[in-house]
Structure 1
Amino acid sequence: MSVDVNDYLESVLTDSGVCGKFQLLFYCLVYGSMVPAAFSVLMMAFGGIEPHWSCYWLSKNGLLLNVTSQMMCKPDNSTIEAVCISKTFDSSMSTIVDKVIILQVSKSVTIKNMSVDVNDYLESVLTDSGVCGKFQLLFYCLVYGSMVPAAFSVLMMAFGGIEPHWSCYWLSKNGLLLNVTSQMMCKQDNSTIEAVCISKTFDSSMSTIVDKWDLTCDKEWIISTITTIQLAGLLFGAFMSGQIGDLFGRKPTFFLSFIMLFTFNLLAAFSVSWQMFAVLRFFIGISSGWYLTIYIIILAELTSTKYRSGIVAFPAWPIGTMIFGLFCWILHDWQNIQITTSILCLPWLIGLCFVPESYRWFVSRNKINEAHQVLIKIAKLNGKPPPDFVKLCDVIAMSKTENTRDRKHTVVDILKTKHLLKDTLLLNVCWISCGYGYFAISFGVQQLSGNLYLNIVLLGLVDVVQILVSFIANKIGRKRTTFIFFAVAGITGIVVGILQFLDLNNKGQLVNGFAFTSKMCVNSGWISLIILTSEIYPTVVRNVGFGLNNSVARVGAMTAPQLVFASKHIPGLSYLLLGGLFLLSCICLVFLPETNRKALKDTIDENEGL
């Protein structure tokens, strides 16, 4: 540009106004943006300041020294080799110095493996922080509330896989349209004319994946296969959750499972083929298995011994099942149910951000500072005094068992420990029975007489009885409670199987009555088994052990849809197998240890004499 052009541009700007509203707004915006820019540049002028701090020392032989030093990285004038296990910072300011150092200290501390005294102390600390306060109210509401979309996710195929009534229009081989329709028949009955079905008309009172992709006759096997694929996902999810939960913490695993439930349920609603739907149901299964494993662990570890069985036995799942039946009746459309499930995830997804990490997991990973912070939050919400950090360190430091050095435990630790391997194999049989029994009855709901939606609700309603499991398990023990429910479930299951062979006038009512009784006992026995399982394993492998059993349960669950399908041709097959499995499980229970009224164990060694 020439000088004349520059002068002209200056004059144009001047003529447009130099001190008007535009300039006022423009300068305010530009100068105002300088404030956060200054904050960004100068933040380290404050954030890098080192607040005053003092240090608590742990000697090399595991003794907590009665010495504190002001802003010193080594004990002053001390001949004893020691490491700083905790720094207490001036609370008048918080900078990255106290944040980073706390993290480093928790990772560098050398702590002995936890003894039985430590377990008792951790129980007492939780009790002293409050067991029935505001924290528990908020915590249980969030965890139990999240069970509703999880129940929707697992049980969707109980409705979505139902075959609506349909009729067929026939075309003869010579091209003539026959003036005949048949109700749910894949071939013409008593007809000498060869014909093919050219069109199916489905009952419009409900919409499932069957009418969406015409999964009838020679495609009928696809329905049970999709359900089996979903339950295979539960198997993988349960096992993955156990390992990831023990390695990376309960809270991140819990939160991630819900993100996956929200995402895959929404995508499944817009499936364009049954193949795509089957793949997404597999990932929904993984998400559900992930969730169902980790929620029990985080509940057990943040609940005191006195109330643990009651918390696990709360009928959150049956309530979710009943709500699912209600929504099926209102929506009666599989796609709307999938979308609703995804929407129901959102409020709990936000709420779960406030669920704390398990303080026991922190302690098992030698992260004592983080464990103490969780306990402080619990005590503060419940209006109780915070636990003594020095005493917590002292109890752990004085334990006499071998050093763990923050070792990561895996399923291998279970398999190579004789008593844990024995317990695991016995529990596996029980969990397989529960997985098969629960889903054989749930996904076979269409085979019961009466109203479909009412039967779904009733299957959830009979499970509310599980709330009594807490009282019974505390009174007579976890093992005996499980045994009683399993025995009744097995006997009633065999009765249903026999009834389905017979031709009786009131057969429908009898089958329903015994089937609902069997379902009630299967679920209640499973709840008692969950309590027993979560208490048998020590903290370092609790999530792995629970996840392993949960995975094995899905093996039983995966067979359930196939046997329900086979029962259409061989009446009573699925229930007779159910009865046999639960009676076998009763025998296995005899050889398992009782855990009633005992503190949770934290390490493998101390579990030897349980």
Structure 2
Amino acid sequence: MYSDEIIDGVGGMSRFQITIMLLVMVPKGLIAWGMLMMSFMGVVPDKWWCTDVVSDATENVGASNYTGLKMCPATGNESTCTFVYSHEKKTAISEWNLLCDMEGIKPLITAVQMTGVLIGAFISGQSADVIGRKKTYYISVFLHAGFNLTAAFSISWQMFIALRFCIGLMVGSFLVVSFTYTMEFIGTRWRPIIAAIPFWPVGSALLALTCWLRPNWSDLHIILAAIQVPFLFGYLIVPESLRWLAVHGKLEEAEKVVDQMARYNKREKPANTAILLKKLSDEERRGGNSDRKYSYLDIYRGWSMFKKSTVHQVIWLLVAFVYYGISFGVGRLTGNLYVNMFLVSVISLPSEMSVFFFNNKFGRRWTGFSFFLLAAGGAFGVVIASRVGMDETIRGKVTTTLALICRLGAASAWSCYLVYTSESYPTVIRTLGYGGANIASRLGGIISPYVFAMGGDDLLPPFVIVGSAMVVCTLLTLLTQETKGAPLADTTVGASWKPEPGDVVIADTKDIKLEEKNGN
């Protein structure tokens, strides 16, 4: 609406917007490290065996000829057993012997982390709309680095799981606020580009490379913490969202942000900037109060808003379940761990970059529909391949390829919905709406490690569930309302707010332009 007119007036995609994306969205790749690190740290070393410390005869037996290779000790003999591991990688499993009777700790760590992501998404959705996007964002980055550094020196799995929860909190907070924060500086036509630029896949691919070069869980935490530090200095450059400032009545600060945008882009500030900001603030005041504190209840007020929020949240829950399930379960796929981690990351690069084109050409609705259909086909392809008679080596390659296709479809559809969901809510509750969807997605992330642990080495049970989930997402997409080319709503007026008797409502932006033309 008014803010879109201002942003397009000073350059909807120019030097300022590129600077914002570099400073705010590049760290998303590092957040991918924090989120997906358990895909490496939860892997059982290729070789492990148990030696009886009481028996001198077994102390020096090599892994190649020890008959107990990958065999748990007999029940009741754990106290006389020492686990020995091959040295090609050092994971959380080998650090704290999370095998045999302790094997349930591995999915628990991932589930606890994803619970932290859920809570972080909930808190930041409220925080970003109360204290602002900027403060919430930089608090998340700072604490994410701090918790990763501390986690590197964990002395027990209990300490480690607590810190993974804290890391999850900051991941959830970052993912909610970073996208809407960046989007609110970009013009209408260019908004899908935020999801199209593959910050997350590139970051997770670099994680795979780093795991290969330095396969030590503690070192990975230290490296991640260190490379986040330079991005904290962005606090001195990146301004608060002008939309947030305006709807909260901070018009002078909002106009300074417009001045900064115009200066960076070498454009003239629109002459009617102050008028448009005042109109935006006044409209929010008519909808309620410029000092009103919105809550998650506001994304369910009215049948239209309730339906919209429910559909988007169910889709996010299911797509996150598939996305993280395959990501964390990459160790179950046939082939080299590091190569599979890399492929799971880069397989989505071309499709996610094409999301920008498809979103603008065919719209958000049909783009999401098509990619969900692709994911469903890949999942059911794994189910069929797992039961068709063929050589085991060929079967492994086929199922891995189809699983990657499923992951590609889910990742691309999710990229589409990053834009789609954000565009579906007005500014005053946008972060809450986006945060609500993120919260739902974290529920999917919590259950994913358990579902993908089903069936042991049999891929049929989890991928039947995955295929069914993608079919549901495909159908639910048909219930959504297209947002392609629509201006971002700034207030709840016209969305979920209903006028009280005596309220004056401006029904259309044409009325505003007519008022300005007449000198009012």
Same fold (TM over 0.5): yes
State which of 289, 295, 300 in structure 2 corresponds to 1:415. Answer: 300
Letter in 1 for 2:72: C
**Residues 75-94 of structure 1: pairs in structure 2 closer than 5 A:** none
1:541-600 CA distance string (max 9 Å, x none) = 110111011011000110111122224265322221111111011121111111000000
- Out of 330, 333, 337, the residue aligned to residue 448 of structure 1 is 333
Bigger share in strand: 1
Evaluate the alpha carbon distance shift between residue 396 and residue 563 of structure 1 in structure 2; reply closer, same or farther with a 3 A threshold. Answer: closer
1:60-99 correspondence runs (5 A): none
Q: Which residue of 1 aligns with 2:217?
A: 334
The match for 2:323 is 438
Instruction: Give the residue type in structure 1 aligned to 2:466.
Output: L
| SS across alignment from 1:466 | helix
- After TM superposition, the structure 1 = structure 2 runs for residues 501-580 of structure 1, keeping only pairs within 5 Å, are 501-502=387-388, 504-505=390-391, 506-568=394-456, 570-580=458-468
2:151 paired residue among 268, 285, 291? 268
Equivalent residue for 2:28?
A: 147
CA distance in 2, matches of 1:412, 1:577: 31
Between 414-423 and 324-333, report the one with greater CA deviation.
414-423
Letter in 2 for 1:182: G
Q: Does 1:466 align with 2:466?
A: no
Secondary structure at 1:402's aligned position in 2? helix
Which residue of the partner structure matches residue 496 of structure 1?
A: 382
1:124 maps to what in 2? 5
Pairing 1:137–2:23 present:
no
What is the deviation of 1:398?
7.7
Listed one character per residue, the Cα deviations across residues 425-481 of structure 1 (whole Å, up to 9, x for unaligned) are 111210111110111100111111111111111111112120100110111110111
> CA offset at residue 500 of structure 1?
3.2
Which whole-Å CA distance do the structure 2 matches of 1:353 and 1:500 have between them?
54
Secondary structure at the aligned position of 1:287 is classed as helix
Amino acid across the alignment from 1:296: F
Q: Give the gaps of 5 or more residues in structure 1.
A: 1-118
Cα pair 1:439 1:557 within 8 Å, conserved: yes
Q: Take 1:463 and 1:195, find their aligned partners in 2: how far apart are those partners? A: 47
**1:243 to 2:126 alignment:** yes
Shift of 1:519: 0.7
CA spacing shift, 1:510–1:607, aligned 2, 3 Å? same
Report if the CA contact (8 A) 1:469-1:528 is conserved.
Answer: yes
2:483 pairs with 1:595: yes
Matched with 1:82 is none
Distance 1:397 1:225 in 2: 47
Number of aligned residues = 486
Letter in 2 for 1:562: Y
Amino acid paired to 2:41: G
Q: Tell me if structure 1 keeps the 8 A contact 2:121–2:175.
A: yes
Name the counterpart of 2:514.
Answer: none
> Normalising by the residue count of structure 1, what TM-score does the alignment of the two structures yield?
0.76
* In 2: Cα distance, 1:552 partner to 1:210 partner: 29
User: SS of 2:494's equivalent?
Assistant: helix
Task: Rate the CA distance shift 1:390–1:375 in 2: closer, same or farther, 3 A.
Answer: closer
Q: Partners of 1:317 and 1:209 in 2: how far apart?
A: 24
Structure 1 CA distance, aligned partners of 2:18 and 2:366?
A: 30
> What is the CA-CA distance between 1:488 and the residue it aligns to?
1.2
Q: CA deviation at 1:501?
A: 4.4
Q: Which has the larger radius of gyration?
A: 1
2:117 equivalent in structure 1? 234
Q: 367, 379, 383: which one pairs with 1:481?
A: 367
Looking at structure 1, the residues matched to 373 and 171 of structure 2 have their Cα atoms a distance apart, in angstroms, of 28
Mapped to 2, the partners of 1:474 and 1:416 lie a distance apart of 30
Instruction: Indicate how the Cα distance of structure 1 residues 451 and 348 shifts in structure 2: closer, same or farther if over 3 A, else same.
Output: same
Residue aligning to 1:606: 494
Quickly say closer, same or farther: Cα 1:519–1:571, change in 2 above 3 A.
closer
Deviations 1:237-287 (A, max 9, x none): 011111100111110010100011011001100000000000000000000
Over 3 Å counting, the alpha-carbon distance change for 1:565 and 1:400 in structure 2 is closer
Q: What residue identity is the alignment partner of 2:386?
A: Q
Equivalent position of 1:168 in the other structure: 49
Distance in 1 separating the partners of 2:280 and 2:141: 34
- Structure 1 equivalent of residue 515 of structure 2: none
Q: Quick one: which of 220, 226, 250 aligns to 1:343?
A: 226
Find the counterpart in structure 1 of residue 504 from structure 2. none
Contact 1:362 1:371 in 2 (8 A): yes
- Work out the CA distance in 2 between the residues paired with 1:557 and 1:474: 29
Superposed CA RMSD in Å reads 2.3
Look up the match of 1:425.
310
Q: What amino acid is the match of 1:472?
A: F
TM-score (norm 2): 0.89
Give the match for residue 288 of structure 2.
404
Describe the SS at the equivalent of 2:191.
Answer: helix
Q: Residue 391 of structure 1 aligns with which residue?
A: 275
The structure showing larger relative contact order (alpha-carbon pairs under 8 Å, at least 6 residues apart) is 2
| DSSP-derived class of the 1:201 partner | strand
Partners of 1:243 and 1:132 lie apart in 2 by: 28
Using the alignment, how far apart are the partners of 2:281 and 2:163 within structure 1?
A: 49
Could you list the runs of 5+ residues in structure 2 that have no partner in the other structure? Answer: 497-506, 509-520
Query: Contact conserved, 2:49 with 2:85, CA < 8 A, in 1?
Result: no
> Quick check: 1:215 aligned with 2:101?
no
